[in-house]
Chain A
Amino acid sequence: MTGIGFDTIKRVTADLYDRSLRFIPADSKVALRKADGIETNETARHTLQTMIRSAEAAEQSWRFVCSDSGVPVYVIKVGTQARFSGNVRQAIVEGFADLVASIQPPLLPHVTNPLTLERGHSGRHMPIVTFDMVDDCDFIDITCSPKALGSGRWSAMEIFSFPDLPTIEAYVLDVVRKAGSQPCPPVVVGVGIGGTFDYACKLAKEATLRPIGQPHPEAMVAAMEERLLAAVNRTGFGPMGTGGDSTATAVHVDYAAGHGFTPVAVTFNCWINRRTRARLFNDGRVEIIE
């Protein structure tokens, strides 16, 4: 038993990013078809149908769904029983470098130094990776969720003091209104409430990764998600912002206990909702989840 190897992590993380660019998740396909079935605006229905055709064309030809491949972002859950036989972060960095050198079609240089605005395919802290521990598991669970400009630009966070629910929900809608047509709706909205500055943003990001149609397990939060989804879709922005009922396919909310200061973080995934996921086990097995 050698544990989870360097080469396996390198290969799997590169492959997760590559695959994430070429199809949309199964739950997104279902959500777009559902939206098309209930949309009342004819232009919007047309746009939704073109979205489905576009995703199918990319998957069939194994080409990119979008030219903005974003930057690679990995959310990694590390089982406490997982064992490694090499460096993890370095494996991910090398996997990305190898992918950049070999991927067809090639990637545009989206990795940007925020201080000089120089663009390329590598940089400080790139790929972006977060690690969390999970008790009693002998695997690591890796989700790849690349972030591109269209949806990445419009995330926002504000810290309130002892806010009531209407205040929190009004803020979420305010962020959605400012984003408007720009994050390629219908979007998945992720909302993180409470904890601390950094933790609320992490909760919001991870909320976007939850499968569409799976409500929060707590009834109070699930009801909030339902209210917010209805309110977002009442804005009338519609697919690509040119009008309609389908502005979001889901609003996912999560929260953490905190002090009386309450951060509220809001983030978006565009309609293509890129997401791939795999588990790497101690015995060498690799399970592709999506």
Chain B
Amino acid sequence: MAITTHRLTFPLTAESARSLRAGDMVIMSGEIVVTAGLPTHHRLIGCLNGVEPMPMDLNGASVFHLGSYSEEKDGTLQLHYINPTTSTRFNALMPTLISGFNWHAVGGKGGLDRPCVEALRQVGGVYLSFLGGGAALHTQAIRRVIEVGWSDMLMHYRLVRLQVEDMGPVTVAIDAHGVSLYEISGAT
């Protein structure tokens, strides 16, 4: 069966997410938010519980487990590189975050477990698999650093909103209909 490749605008809507099937490829343009920090995820749960205000609006955002290194030069943030980190260590927190913020696209590498698959199915969301060791390719797609949240944290833990153009292709590894390639392959 031939692979379908979709060119989509991000943040992904629930409608677009539901149009995808596990195994499809996606080329991404638009706005995404990235972080590689477990402490960041705990802090976001705190925001949902009213502990502190959100550092940026993440409702309906496309949020990926990607670590990045950016530096301020001549008054603008320049991104050196970006690459996925292993998503499974966020398993316990992701269902609350997916449901709480209506995330229609999440991703990284390594996949998420069944409770996350169910949360994605309920909100109409997908998990996108980025190539690990793909820094040179992923970084080429970054056009601009739009904003950075929680600058008090380590570089790769911060929330970074980016404008991207033709990022990918990435693989739809978990679709919005409850199908996970990781479960089919037996890898989770």
Binding site for B on A (CB under 8 A): 42-43, 46-47, 50-51, 53-55, 57-58, 61, 63-68, 105-106, 108-109, 119, 149-150, 153, 177, 180-182, 184, 235-238, 240-244, 270-272
Contacts and interface: CB of A to CB of B under 8 A. Distances in A.
B111 A181 contact: yes
B3 A108 contact: no
- Residues of B in contact with A, size category: 35 or more
Given A61-B136, A181-B187, A242 B131 contact: no
Contact of A180 (B25, B69, B182): B182
B68 to A, nearest CB: 7
B132 A66 contact: yes
B171 A184 contact: no
Contact of A240 (B1, B83, B132): B132
Contact of B88 (A65, A106, A182): A182
B155 interface: yes
Contacts of B7: none
Contacts of A242: 23, 111, 129, 171, 173, 181-182, 185, 187
5 contacts: A42-B2, A46-B171, A50-B169, A242-B171, A243-B187
Interface of B: 1-3, 23, 25, 67-69, 71, 80-83, 85-86, 88, 109-111, 129, 131-137, 139-140, 154-156, 169, 171, 173, 181-182, 184-188
A68 B185 contact: no
A250 B109 CA distance: 22
A248 to B, nearest CB: 13
A105 B171 contact: no
Given A46-B3, A108-B155, A181 B185 contact: yes
Contact of A46 (B25, B137, B184, B186): B25
Name the 4 nearest CB pairs between A and B, nearest first.
A67-B83, A105-B80, A241-B187, A57-B136
Given A53-B137, A67-B83, A105-B80, A184 B181 contact: no
Given A50-B137, A55-B133, A108-B67, 9 more contacts: A46-B171, A47-B131, A65-B136, A67-B156, A68-B67, A181-B185, A240-B110, A240-B131, A241-B111
Identify which of A106, A109, A242 gathers the most chain B CB atoms within 10 Å of its CB. A242
B81 A240 contact: no
Contact of B134 (A46, A54, A105, A177): A54
B85 A43 contact: no
B108 to A, nearest CB: 11
Contacts of B86: 149-150, 153, 182
Contacts of A244: 185
A236 B182 CA distance: 10
Given A43-B3, A180-B182, A119 B154 contact: yes
Contacts of B129: 240-242
Given A181-B110, A182-B110, A237 B187 contact: yes
A65 B133 contact: yes
Q: Looking at chain A's contact residues, is the secondary structure mostly helix, strand, loop, or mixed?
A: loop
A68 B185 CA distance: 26
A180 B188 contact: yes
Contact of A105 (B23, B69, B133): B69
A243 B135 contact: no
Contacts of A119: 154
Contact of B133 (A51, A108, A235): A51
Given A64-B135, A184-B132, A106 B80 contact: yes
A119 B154 CA distance: 8
Contacts of A180: 110, 182, 186-188
A64 B188 CA distance: 28
Contacts of A235: 185-187
A241 B110 contact: yes
Given A43-B3, A67-B82, A150-B86, A240 B136 contact: no
A67 B187 contact: no
B131 A50 contact: yes
A42 B3 contact: yes
Given A58-B135, A63-B81, A67-B135, A238 B67 contact: no
A147 to B, nearest CB: 14
